[in-house]
Amino acid sequence: MCRLLGYLGSAIQFEQLLYKPEHSLIVQAYQPREMTAGVLNVDGFGIGWYNRLNSVDPFTYKSTLPIWHDTNLPQLSRYIESGCMLGYVRSATPGMALNLSNCQPFQADRLLFIHNGYINNFRKTLYKPIRDRVNDEVYQSVQGSTDSEHIFALILNELLAFPDCPLEKALHTTLMTLTELAKEYQTSFSANLIISDGKRLVASRYAYNAFTPTLYWVKNGSYYPNAVIVASEPLFVGKWNSWKSCPKNSLLSVGENLEVQIEELL
């Protein structure tokens, strides 16, 4: 299981998320508290962020190194300042290649996407059915071999088919499609996801016939006023701890005004 993080709010330096919290994403890479598969996240990492001063596509920085071994990241994280950021540390599913093509976040135009979870026996179950569901443009855009990128492909396919479709609806439809396919091909999956267009965050905590990984959120938490953070595990604890567990089988969306809405998935 990987660990993921999404931030939306007032612009801050990325080091405030990666290094300052007592249980930061870097600490979660080598000392996670709530992983259900594996003990370390050593198979690479990635960060993605938006520059709100212009309309350019988001930026990403990825590596196949464990996040604590990357000597460039401490300096880079002091330089990057943004109001919308995603972070991810990877624990690769056995059989999935360790290369940059399989490192998250995945990007398509203005969208960034990260996934914590798996599709059980992916290559033998839903690999081809998912590819059969997407149009040629999306099919050709898939560069890696992970189940995560193929889930993203389903979302992109929905958004291309219905350009005015909200991210929440596209994610909802994708999860229902995965559920139908998992039933048909007698497999299971878990899908804790975060997707962003730079203005909003949309996340899911969802699983079919599998354990549901943890997902938490906090608004205006310690040292992060005017912000919402979504993460696999709380970044900080103590008397100011106000993290809330996202309900199982639900969507969480954070709007531009930082309003948090939670929708149950049936």
Active site residues: 2
Instruction: Summarize the chain as % helix, strand, coil (round to 5).
Output: 25, 30, 45
Helix, strand, or coil (residue 264)? strand
Asked if 100 and 90 touch (Cβ cutoff 8 Å), the reply is no
C-alpha pair distances (Å), 174 with each of 96, 159, 166, 192, 204: 22, 10, 12, 13, 11
CA–CA dist 6, 31 (Å, integer): 19
Tokens describing residue 9: 């709010």
C-alpha pair distances (Å), 49 with each of 57, 93, 195, 199: 9, 25, 12, 11
Asked if 108 and 143 touch (Cβ cutoff 8 Å), the reply is no
Question: In the 8-state DSSP scheme, what is residue 226?
Answer: T
Cis peptide bond upstream of 21, omega within 30: no
